[in-house]
Structure 1
Amino acid sequence: MKNMHFKLVLIVCIFHSVYSYNVTDEGRLFTDLFSNYNKDLRAGNDRDYPLNVSMQFYLLAIKEFVEASSKFTVNGVFAITWRDERLSWDPATYNNITKTLVFQEKIWIPNIVTVNPFEEAYGLGSNLVQVNVDNEGSCFWVTMQSFEVICDADVTYYPFDKQYCVLKFVAYTLDVDWLNISFPNSEVTLTNYEESGLWKIEDTANYCYIEEGSTYVVVGLHLKRRSTYYLASLILPMTVVAILQAFVFVLPNDSGERVGFSVTILLTSVVFLTIIQEKLPEASEPNISVLGFLLFGYVILGALVTLCVILSANIHSFTEATHMPKLLRYICCLQSNIVEGTLSSSSTMKVASKEEEMEEEPPSCSWNDVAKRFDRFCFISSLFLYAIQVIIYFGLSA
């Protein structure tokens, strides 16, 4: 029992001796550390070798990506470590203090600045988070902030597109002889990442490269758009509306609603085109969106359908007194015989030449029959052309 009490007392004494320092001890430590400290001088006692700086990026969230303005914003954290021997001390001298917190404005920190900011260039860090310093002079700096950079979007296959956006930084004032920046991990840490409802991260990369004596730090994100929303709310309604325009040829000519229906559907396609143009960048590089070409095809085909509707209405309004060319009458009657399967005996006779055929008395066919045959041809042709456009678009976007 006495041994048990002795062990408890020993543990309490050890614990007390380790954590018994107070604010006075820490204040004395600060006074001694910064009495002759010059934050303008780079850390590292050996000036013949560059200072080793280790970095790691932790992505927290993708805030926004505005393709029209090329604005890409993410929330993230840089964890940066280095050693500054001037900030080392003997823990026994200061009542076993092994670490402390220091505002970044009081010590030397790596001067790392953005290369591709959306507006103004800015450096890493703020005094919202302090630098953790231990008794060996090892500094652990966490820079938590929102990064706004330029990312030129490639919307060729929008909304099935993939984007590659980078956060790019450089140590302007410190060349490779002064600073050696490295990433222990080649990928971005996604431990605390909140999934985006619009973008899926397919791959990430952390790396450094040297150009003109300066070290550049790059954080790359490979993004893929989640296209389900756009497919259900944009592409499918747009395609259904466009295909619906072909059914104008099913409406009776006597109804008087064909031209109004066709023009209304055409204007709807134009509205969809306007919506797409507002979402996409105005630049033509690297490529214009295939979806824009699809909508443009819908509008052009819709205009042709409207012209065909007007032409069909004019044909339907012709009276029997209006002369019908012989060739048109033959085509109309031949199509009627093929559809009905009752070819006349005169059509099965061989003719010696086209001149003899044209001299024969053409069969009877009204302008109303011509309008119906024309509507059937336009209906099938427009459906076929709409289907071809959709197949080409999804074939290119796949």
Structure 2
Amino acid sequence: MLNADLLNGYNPTVHPGLNYSEPLNINVSFSLRKIQTFDELTSAFTIIGVLYVAWFDERLHWTPSSYNNLMVTHFKQKEIWTPPFLLANNHDDIAMIGNDELHISVTYTGEVSWDIPVKLTSLCDADVRYYPFDQQSCSLVLSPWGYSSNLVQLNATGSTLDTAQYTENSIWNLVSTDQRSLQRPDWIILMTIMFERKALFFVLNFILPTIFMCFINLFVFALPAESGERVGFSITVLLAIAVFLSIVSSNLPQTSSPEMALLCYLLVIHIVLSVMIMVCVILGLRFYFRSDEQQVPGYISKLTRIVNNKTCGNLKTSDVSPEPQKTDPVTAKTGPDGAELNGDNSVPTYDAVTWNQVSIAFDKVCFTFFLLTATLCNLAFGVRLSAS
């Protein structure tokens, strides 16, 4: 009987207010229950929670003593006026928040309490520069569609979202929340949620294997040249790093704005290093299997002796296996320490450097160079992420 009396002559399309020269005050708060999904590829951010809305409707007040001291009653949403809330930055189809069959609580003073369980999906551009150590900030904009600031005024009842009943997400950690009412130019409720990725899974399954493969690739220079496995080993590691790059890229937005993930740059650097290692392996094999009839140039001989920790003196350009030098027993001279001098020249003559020695020295130089380069690149990547 109470509901029938209150709805007698009631028009649900007319908003409450005794004086329409002043806007209707609507209090709004949100209880966050769960971050359901965040899809970096489609920029879709989905949360689950309860939207609490309260206002006064002077047409719905009554005297409790006239109705058996009844203090509270309930109406269906379609029976009384409710603010037409919608998510302004909705990712899917635009629809009003609420349900016609949803019950609304009304007290005898005319205070209306509308508690709406909602699943909201908004647009949120991902910033994956520091993936998988990235932190995202997504906003949801609630607007009373069709009502200007002259008719309704939204008031956020708290500076943060209610997270008392929040359930942890398996991928994301909740960092902070913010809630405020703004006039732009009409009133809106702006809810901002900041969250960060749980990076352990990605570190163990993507980053560490890639770094390990990068260093394993260096040991191709330790394989014996006669084994015939050097080129195959380097190509296998190159393909493995390329596969990891494709896996990581499939989980990232296919965009270059605002920034690409630093991890992609690291993987590209590893691929470039792997290609360079493969080229150096081929060059080293050409040195190793080069015919002994070809002389080693003088500057290569000097560099080879330096790398192999040999004394670098006046080099003799001769065949790889020269015949022993014959000395004249009459003219042969000895130095103070008994060493034989070479005619008028007091500098000893050394055997010519072989191409096998050149190959060994080349492998040492390549191993050291790529070890330092890979270490510096990985350290720079780690320092940049830690600085973020």
Aligned residues: 354
Q: Give the Cα–Cα distance (whole angstroms) in 2 for the partners of residues 386 and 124 of structure 1.
A: 54
Residues 163 and 224, structure 1, Cα contact 8 Å, conserved in 2: yes
1:311 and 2:283 correspond: yes
Gapped regions of structure 2 (runs ≥ 5): 316-347
Residues 304 and 357, structure 2, Cα contact 8 Å, conserved in 1: yes
- Which residue of structure 1 aligns with residue 327 of structure 2? none
Q: Percent identity?
A: 29
1:372 and 2:360 correspond: yes
- Which residue of structure 2 aligns with residue 302 of structure 1? 274
- Which residue of structure 2 aligns with residue 381 of structure 1? 369
Greater Cα shift, 280-289 or 119-128:
119-128
1:159 and 2:132 correspond: yes
- Which residue of structure 1 aligns with residue 338 of structure 2? none
- Of residues 86, 93, 106, the one that matches 1:113 is 86
Match for 1:366: what amino acid?
A: T
Measure how far apart 1:87 and its partner are: 0.9
Residues 77 and 101, structure 2, Cα contact 8 Å, conserved in 1: no
Q: Report the 3-state secondary structure (helix = DSSP H, G, I; strand = E; otherwise coil) of the residue aligned with 1:174.
A: coil
Measure how far apart 1:76 and its partner are: 0.9
Q: Superposition pairs for residues 267-346 of structure 1, below 5 Å?
A: 267-338=239-310, 343=311
Deviations 1:26-85 (A, max 9, x none): xx1121111200001011222121111101110000111111111111101111100101
Q: Report the 3-state secondary structure (helix = DSSP H, G, I; strand = E; otherwise coil) of the residue aligned with 2:145.
A: strand
Q: Report the 3-state secondary structure (helix = DSSP H, G, I; strand = E; otherwise coil) of the residue aligned with 2:308.
A: helix
Give the TM-score of the pair, scaled to structure 1: 0.86
Measure how far apart 1:180 and its partner are: 1.0
Residues 164 and 220, structure 1, Cα contact 8 Å, conserved in 2: yes
Q: Give the Cα–Cα distance (whole angstroms) in 2 for the partners of residues 58 and 337 of structure 1.
A: 72
Q: Superposition pairs for residues 128-207 of structure 1, below 5 Å?
A: 129-207=102-180
Q: Report the 3-state secondary structure (helix = DSSP H, G, I; strand = E; otherwise coil) of the residue aligned with 2:192.
A: strand
Measure how far apart 1:200 and its partner are: 1.3
More helix by share: 1
Match for 1:143: what amino acid?
A: I
Give the TM-score of the pair, scaled to structure 2: 0.88
Match for 1:126: what amino acid?
A: N
Residues 333 and 363, structure 1, Cα contact 8 Å, conserved in 2: no
Deviations 1:289-309 (A, max 9, x none): 100000000111111001111
Residues 326 and 362, structure 1, Cα contact 8 Å, conserved in 2: no
Change (3 A) 1:321 1:345: closer
Change (3 A) 1:317 1:49: same
Match for 2:352: what amino acid?
A: S
User: Cα RMSD between the aligned structures?
Assistant: 1.6
Deviations 1:316-371 (A, max 9, x none): 11021123212112221233235xxxx37769xxxxxxxxxxxx987511111111
- Which residue of structure 2 aligns with residue 247 of structure 1? 219
Q: Give the Cα–Cα distance (whole angstroms) in 2 for the partners of residues 156 and 318 of structure 1.
A: 48
Gapped regions of structure 1 (runs ≥ 5): 1-27, 348-359
Change (3 A) 1:196 1:305: same
Deviations 1:132-175 (A, max 9, x none): 01111110001101111111010000011111001112223111
Q: Give the Cα–Cα distance (whole angstroms) in 2 for the partners of residues 208 and 152 of structure 1.
A: 22
Q: Report the 3-state secondary structure (helix = DSSP H, G, I; strand = E; otherwise coil) of the residue aligned with 1:209.
A: strand
Residues 158 and 179, structure 2, Cα contact 8 Å, conserved in 1: yes
- Of residues 26, 30, 42, the one that matches 1:53 is 26
Q: Give the Cα–Cα distance (whole angstroms) in 1 for the partners of residues 289 and 314 of structure 2.
A: 30
